[in-house]
Amino acid sequence: MSSVAEFEETARERLDPVYYDFFAGAAGDEITARSNVDSFARLCLLPRVLRGSDKRDLTIELLGSRASMPILVAPTAFHRLAHPDGELATVRAAMAADTVMIVSMAATTAIEDVAAAALEVTPEPELWFQLYLQPDLDFSEAIVRRAERAGVKALVVTVDSPVLGRRERDDRHGFHDLPPGMVVENLRNLRGGEPGHVRQIAMSAELSWEHIAWLRQLTALPILLKGVLHPEDARLAVRHGVAGLIVSNHGGRQLDTVPATIDALPEIAEAVAGAVPLILDGGVRRGTDVAKALALGASAVGLGRPVLWGLAAAGQDGVARVLERVREEFDHTLALCGAASPLDLTADLVRSYR
């Protein structure tokens, strides 16, 4: 398989249609999900020539984490629906690729087990943890402490989910619960529950900037906010002392018809003016997409669905091949743009001609 699209085709053949639609589906008419991909295609790269460098360095440092490339594994739920090894396969591939994996709070493997698998591959795993802040702050604290004990290096707080998005593919299938024998393991055996008890994730429209301030007091870990699309929210985030932002529309899975992330990125970059790093997820399928995002202000990108397609197609090896393929495409794109590193990608290299 030579592209993310081919991995998706194989994944679709192998997955139960209910689970394929869970991963592929999005909110409403899925306009935003399509736009995430299509908006990259509408942007053109305008390469430079004769820059005099034949060696390229893809490595980045981000909030104390080092990665061999500006391509991270974005948080996605329920990896065991894609492959029996689930998040264990994903993290082993991510660590072998020497990049950051953002582990979902809604993982079907406990963060302790994910961390242990990462340590099998590298003595210094780069793991971040995605968090849905819970209105029950004691519950939230228990999750944070669990992630801290597992050795994660940053918290990624999803802020675009005051309520759960309406995904009509899931409604048609009646898919609203995990199959027997599978649970959200990070919510098992937490404070206030009986041994073996699994809490439920609660979405809450009551959450506010005060909760971010509370979390900053609770933990010394860097805090990133995931799901910021409005420039004023980006400015507020900087004023509230967050360490970074993930420009994301949840893969189109929350509110349909919001902008594609690559379209929202330039205004967010202008709003923060370099005060905090920006990561973009949503619609990244090619190395050229990575280059466009970095040129328009991102420090890195996250791969979500492509990782799941690799996992479903061929387990750990499939994830590894997806990451390596996008890495190779990005390196090739850098060479063709006359760039020696991600820092050489600037906004003048991107145009919208279509």
CA–CA separation, 126 and 66 (whole Å): 7
Helix/strand/coil for 82: coil
CA–CA separation, 273 and 296 (whole Å): 12
- Nearest partner of 16 among 76, 73, 80, 77, judged by Cα: 80
Q: Which of 173, 211, 250, 332 is catalytic?
A: 250
CA–CA separation, 202 and 342 (whole Å): 38
SS3 percent helix, strand, coil of the chain, rounded to 5, is 45, 10, 45
Q: Is 240 a catalytic residue?
A: no
* Tokens representing residue 149 in the block: 């004990």
CA–CA separation, 113 and 342 (whole Å): 33
For the chain, strand residue ranges (E) read: 44-45, 60-62, 65-67, 71-73, 101-103, 127-131, 155-158, 223-226, 244-247, 278-281, 300-303, 350-351
Query: What burial letters (b/e) apply to 90-105, b meaning 16+ CB within 10 Å?
Result: bbbbbbbbbbbbbbbb
225 φ, ψ to 5°? -105, 130
Tell me the DSSP string of 270-291: HHHTTSS-EEEESS--SHHHHH
| Cross-strand pairs, 224 | 156, 244
**Rounded to whole angstroms, what are the CA distances from 49 to 15, 312, 350?**
44, 40, 15
Rg (the chain; Cα; Å): 19
Cite the active site residues: 250
